[in-house]
Amino acid sequence: MGEFDLIRRYLEPVARSQTHTGLLLAPGDDCAIQRLLPDQDLVFSIDTLVESVHFPRGYRADYVAWRALATAASDLAAMGADPVCFTLALTIPDDDEAWLQAFAAGLKDAARTFALALAGGDTTRGPLTVSVQVHGTVPAGMALRRSGACPGDLIVVSGTLGDAAAALACLHTDAPCADEQALLARYHHPEPRLALGQSLRGVASAAIDISDGLGADLQHLLNASGVGAVVDLSRLPLSGPLQRCRPGEARQLAWSGGDDYELCATIPEARWQRLDASVRTQLTVIGQVQAGTGLSFRGGVPEPAAGAGYDHFRRQVS
Ligand code: ADP
Ligand code: MG
């Protein structure tokens, strides 16, 4: 199968299955065309997944596709963007048809779920690597940023934390119990909080998605905003499966574990009080922004090195 057969057979059907009115020209030409509306900002970001670095060798192809699109879409969620389209740079070792079929199925599923239309891409042979560039839009000036948190703002997180990190321990379990299956689902099928991010436009003073771990990602937000914070570790939202499977380490995993793709945001207290209950119930207050630059804790302290996050070139972020 040639490169163009591969694109026609496996990727063009994905492009046809999920379209967007803003995407005027999808795969087939030298470039895709996106029509930009006045008074909108284009927000875009690229993410790469490499086999053996971001997912295990032999990892299911449909999971690879879902995770590639989900992690990229999570960056759009963090900016409060409306998803539009994505490009896909796919490097594969061979043209294994069963693998491609599963990959295309996972990609189609994710594209529909996140409302992202496939705009084009590049296909090459080499070590398995998947890069996804996503495009989204926000009303001009309304994108959420990491900077903007002010002393007094409440720190909130969405969903529950630590599940995906706990799943790493049972990735190779032969017959996972129901709780382990729930944890594994969080790792295999992350669900970027796109709708929540959109509803935080004009509400949150700053936001970030939690990919490396709350400790590391909150620190990025605080650094960008030039502020400090107090965090109550006893308030971190923990799922039932996490508390039952890892009772001794649940809080630690929630603080330092990555791959959850929840949102962390700061919200001025007055806006939090007025916030629609349907949005508020998706969030848990875990602390408050403070003047200065330090991070202090209530309800326990993180273990040494926890919250360090993952850095490809240093391994430990200071
Ligand atoms: P060019 O040589 O002009 O850069 P290519 O030969 O790389 O174009 O690709 C031909 C067409 O197929 C382009 O429209 C491109 O967007 C599309 N395409 C190639 N690879 C992919 C992919 N992985 N996913 C989606 N579309 C792809
Ligand atoms: Mg060309």
Give the pLDDT confidence score for residue 317 in this predicted structure: 37
Rounded to two decimals, the pTM is 0.94
Residue 304 pLDDT grade (very low, low, confident, very high; cuts 50, 70, 90): confident
pLDDT at 222 over 90: yes
Give the pLDDT confidence score for residue 94 in this predicted structure: 94
In the chain, the percentage of residues whose pLDDT exceeds 90 is: 92
Give the pLDDT confidence score for residue 206 in this predicted structure: 98
Residue 1 pLDDT grade (very low, low, confident, very high; cuts 50, 70, 90): confident
pLDDT at 306 over 60: no
Give the pLDDT confidence score for residue 303 in this predicted structure: 85
Give the pLDDT confidence score for residue 123 in this predicted structure: 96
Tokens (6 digits) for 127: 């070590």
Give the pLDDT confidence score for residue 315 in this predicted structure: 45
The protein residue with its alpha carbon nearest to ligand 1, atom 11, reads 28
Give the pLDDT confidence score for residue 17 in this predicted structure: 97
pLDDT in tens, 228-263: 999 999 999 999 999 999 999 999 999 999 999 999
Give the pLDDT confidence score for residue 255 in this predicted structure: 98
Q: Angle formed by the axes of helices 178-188 and 61-79, to 10°? A: 70
> Which H, E and C letters describe 33-72, residue by residue?
EECCCCCEEEEEEEEEEEECCCECCCCCHHHHHHHHHHHH
In the chain, the percentage of residues whose pLDDT exceeds 70 is: 96
Ligand nearest to C-alpha 120: 1
Tell me which residues have their CB closer than 6 angstroms to ligand 1.
7, 11, 27-30, 88, 90, 118, 120-123
User: Which atom in ligand 1 lies closest to the alpha carbon of residue 89?
Assistant: 23
Q: What is the mean pLDDT of residues 21-30?
A: 95
* Distance (Å) from CA 87 to ligand 2 centroid: 15
* Distance (Å) from CA 44 to ligand 2 centroid: 22
Measure Cα distances from 36 to 27, 30, 75, 138 in Å.
18, 19, 20, 11
Contact 267, 205 (CB under 8 A): yes
Residue 46 pLDDT grade (very low, low, confident, very high; cuts 50, 70, 90): very high
User: Which atom in ligand 1 lies closest to the alpha carbon of residue 120?
Assistant: 16
pLDDT at 138 over 50: yes
Say whether 142 sits in a helix, a strand or coil. coil
When the pLDDT of each residue in the chain is averaged and rounded to a whole number, the result is: 95
The single-letter DSSP state of residue 208 is: E
pLDDT in tens, 72-118: 999 999 999 999 999 999 999 999 999 999 999 999 999 999 999 99
Residue 293 pLDDT grade (very low, low, confident, very high; cuts 50, 70, 90): very high
pLDDT in tens, 193-210: 999 999 999 999 999 999
Tokens (6 digits) for 79: 């900016």
Q: What is the mean pLDDT of residues 134-159?
A: 98
Give the pLDDT confidence score for residue 318 in this predicted structure: 33
The protein residue with its alpha carbon nearest to ligand 1, atom 7, reads 122
DSSP for 242-260, written as a single string: HHHH-TTTHHHHHHH----
Strand ranges inside the chain, DSSP E: 23-25, 33-34, 40-50, 82-92, 117-125, 129-139, 154-158, 206-210, 228-232, 262-267, 283-290, 295-298
